[in-house]
Amino acid sequence: MRSISYCVLIVIGAYLLSSCKTTAKVAEQQESEPDPIHKSEEKHFSSVRQMTYHGDNAEAYWNSDGTQLVFQATNERWGISCDQIYVVDADYEQRDGEIPPMVSTGNGRTTCAYFLPSDDEILYASTHGGHTDCPVAPPRVIGGKYVWPIYAEYDIYTAGLDGNVRKQLTDTPGYDAEATISPDGKRVVFTSLRSGDLDLYTMNIDGSDVQRVTYDLGYDGGAFFSPDSKKIVFRAGRPRDTDEANAYKYLLTQNMIEPTDMEIYMCNADGSNLRQLTDLGGANWAPYFHPDGDKILFASNHHSGDSGFPFNIFMIDTLGGNLEQVTYGKKFDSFPMFSPDGSKLAFSSNRNNGGTRSTNVFIAEWQD
């Protein structure tokens, strides 16, 4: 999610819950095997560097000149029991026991942070307007199926790098989150439940001129603009029959979705020329444009079989062809985002975590 994105690392739970016996057996094997940071098959990476250690660290996004990243993290060692937002310099490497600077309030749960064009402010979604504690997480399995919460208290805020909230951009009942900003700095795309369905909307960066982008039944989220700000790529879970539609609608009444069956879609920034780019099966999500605007990176477990994992990063062209595997992690690689000059790729991974469930931020030097 974004916001299966995890914007809140749901997919980790998805593969852990998919097959307890298989997961336990594979995990035992993986713990005894070396897990290099840079896999030999990863030909698009000339090098890989680990930025964070321990906890769940994800969705690291660059500022406009590539000197800083903003990311979300949950880490019991820091006294943080649900996601908060942090900013670090691009050359940051976490030392043992070090806590990076927090730029969210420390209250509620947060997700999906992104730099404003000025680089001295960020926007992110937070539940702190509803209550200051972490929201109670619902069961992650209902009727044998993995589900993800859509916290109704999420609204989108801007804040300074000092952590002080500057402005609340959304104020409608239900979920407003997963916001990112167009490269030209003019528009924000986000997911909202204001229509009764989880659709994409755009607005000015001050929260004005809200325009609906998608209309079909199903979850549309994790959207990003193309480098020229004219197109939007996103993930979508669209019911295929009446039974799936009814199940989807019921889960929405419980503020939940089932995020294990999604494909990648693209449209113009106003919603026109909507088309499906992938038809791979499984969970395809976290799409992001290559700097040339003609290719898209995304995370997928379509190649994983019944176990549901690993998730790896793949690349396709904007016509939906020339599928290529980019990462070869054993468990989870996702949230790819290019630096503004296209020379580096930030991503989140379970690699090199000593057999734990820790997810960390990595920076790869990119080569086409």
Comparing CA positions, the residue from 111, 182, 119, 120 lying closest to residue 149 is 111
- Residue 5 in domain: no
- Residue 111 in domain: yes
What CATH number does the domain containing 136 carry?
2.120.10.30
Cis peptide before 139 (omega within 30 of 0): no
Mean pLDDT of 113-138: 94
Whether the CB-CB separation of 16 and 141 falls below 8 Å is answered with no
- Residue 2 in domain: no
If one counts the domains in the chain, the total is 1
What percent of the chain shows pLDDT beyond 90? 82
pLDDT, position 8 = 41
* pLDDT tens digits, 275-303: 999 999 999 999 999 999 999 999 999 99
Mean pLDDT of 92-105: 92
Q: How confident is the model at residue 33 (pLDDT cuts 50, 70, 90)?
A: low
Comparing CA positions, the residue from 304, 309, 17 lying closest to residue 148 is 17
- Residue 201 in domain: yes
H/E segment holding residue 22 = helix 20-31
Give 22: exposed, middle or buried? Use CB within 10 Å, 0-12, 13-18, 19+. Answer: middle
- Residue 3 in domain: no
* pLDDT tens digits, 251-260: 999 999 998 8
- Residue 120 in domain: yes
Mean pLDDT of 81-96: 94
**Res. 7: pLDDT tops 60:** no
Q: What is the rounded CA–CA span in Å between residue 164 and residue 156? A: 14
Whether the CB-CB separation of 310 and 330 falls below 8 Å is answered with yes
Q: What is the rounded CA–CA span in Å between residue 282 and residue 261? A: 5
What percent of the chain is helix, strand and coil (3-state, nearest 5)? Answer: 10, 40, 50
User: How many other CB atoms are found less than 10 A from the CB of residue 135?
Assistant: 17
Q: What is the rounded CA–CA span in Å between residue 116 and residue 166? A: 12
Q: Phi and psi at residue 228, in whole multiples of 5°?
A: -90, 5
Whether the CB-CB separation of 304 and 16 falls below 8 Å is answered with no
Whether the CB-CB separation of 84 and 104 falls below 8 Å is answered with yes
pLDDT, position 339 = 97
Structural domain harbouring 229 = 10-366
Q: What is the rounded CA–CA span in Å between residue 357 and residue 74? A: 12
3 state SS of 78: helix
- Residue 324 in domain: yes
Q: In the Cβ-directed half-sphere of 89, how many Cα atoms lie within 13 Å? A: 3
**Res. 14: pLDDT tops 70:** no
Comparing CA positions, the residue from 211, 109, 90 lying closest to residue 157 is 109
Whether the CB-CB separation of 66 and 341 falls below 8 Å is answered with yes
**What is the chain's mean pLDDT, rounded?**
90
* pLDDT tens digits, 16-30: 333 333 333 344 444
Report DSSP letters for 242-256, one per residue: HHHHHHHHHHHHTTE
**Res. 141: pLDDT tops 90:** no
**Res. 152: pLDDT tops 90:** yes
- Residue 39 in domain: yes
Whether the CB-CB separation of 277 and 300 falls below 8 Å is answered with no
